[in-house]
């Protein structure tokens, strides 16, 4: 009986969909196929128009434009994937604002195997990170606006604002795109469990060095 078979098929399809074992319908995949077709067809139509309008010279120009566009798109996508994987060039670091630097630091930590939680609140950026060895990091950021201080200016206060010193296995990391003063370095060395990451070390970290390579206390 056709009606019975149709109803049985509908029930079977419903059961498969409920189990997540039935593929998408045509109307669900049609927009994707249409977009893919447009992407493939558009360059062909462009080349055909250039050839009809300008002849062989137009065809050569079109091929050159498509090749250069494809190369630029490939390089752009590769750069995006690289940054998402936690690798940045010095020029890319220099273009980051303060929130962007926090995102970059989180990506670099994940790249190196740390589990990262963003604890930023009230405009105070902070990351918590833990690795497989049980080490814990409290990562703070010193704004570039408070950069290099005079030798006579105490550097402890800005660092205290960036976060507390290490407690137990918690290591305090202070990230700064500039240079820490001697007063900063002396203050951090007296605290214990504080690791200062200046602009030069930040660049090394961004291109692939780990925090261990940069002297992170173990």
**What residues form DSSP beta bridges with 196?**
174
Q: What is the pLDDT of residue 69?
A: 79
Query: What is the value of pTM for the model shown?
Result: 0.66
Q: What is the pLDDT of residues 34-45, one digit of tens each?
A: 666 666 677 777
Question: According to the model, what pLDDT value does residue 149 have?
Answer: 45
Kindly write down the DSSP assignment for every residue of the chain, as one continuous string. -HHHHHHHHHHHHHHHHHTT-SPPPHHHHHHHHHHHHHHHHHHHHHHHHHHHHHTHHHHHHHHHHHHHHHHHHHHHHHHHHHHHTT---HHHHHH--HHHHHHHHHHHHHHTT-EEEE--BTTB-EEEEE-TT--EEEEEE--GGG-S--TTS--HHHHHHH-PPPBTTEEEEEE-SS---HHHHHHHHHHSSEEEE-HHHHHHHHTT--TTTTT---
Position 67 scores a pLDDT of 80
d(CA 8, CA 31): 29
pLDDT at 158: 46
Which residue numbers in the chain have pLDDT < 70? 1-4, 6-30, 32-40, 144-169, 218
Q: What is the pLDDT at residue 123?
A: 81
Alpha carbons 154 and 145: distance in angstroms, whole number: 16
pLDDT at 11: 67
Order of strands, edge to edge, in the sheet holding 136-141? Answer: 115-118, 126-130, 136-141, 170-175, 194-197
């Amino acid at each position: 009986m056709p009606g019975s078979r149709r109803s049985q098929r509908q029930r079977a399809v419903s059961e498969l969909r409920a189990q997540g074992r039935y593929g998408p319908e045509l109307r669900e995949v049609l927009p994707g196929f249409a977009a893919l077709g447009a992407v493939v067809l558009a360059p062909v139509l462009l080349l055909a128009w250039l050839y009809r309008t300008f002849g062989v010279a137009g065809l050569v120009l079109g091929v050159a434009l498509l090749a250069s566009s494809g190369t630029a798109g490939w390089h752009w996508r590769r750069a995006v994937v690289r940054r998402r994987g936690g690798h940045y060039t010095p020029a890319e670091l220099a273009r980051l604002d303060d929130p962007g630097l926090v995102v970059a630091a989180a990506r670099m930590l994940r790249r190196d195997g740390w589990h990262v939680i963003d604890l930023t609140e009230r405009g105070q950026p902070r990351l918590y990170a833990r690795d497989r060895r049980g080490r814990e990091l409290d990562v703070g950021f010193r704004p570039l606006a408070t950069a290099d201080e005079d030798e006579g200016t105490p550097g402890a206060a800005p660092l205290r604002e960036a976060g507390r010193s290490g407690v137990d296995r918690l290591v305090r990391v202070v990230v700064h795109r500039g240079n820490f003063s001697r007063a900063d370095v002396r203050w951090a060395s007296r605290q214990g469990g504080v690791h200062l990451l200046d602009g030069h070390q930040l660049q090394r970290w961004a291109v692939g060095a780990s925090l261990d390579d940069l002297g992170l206390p173990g």
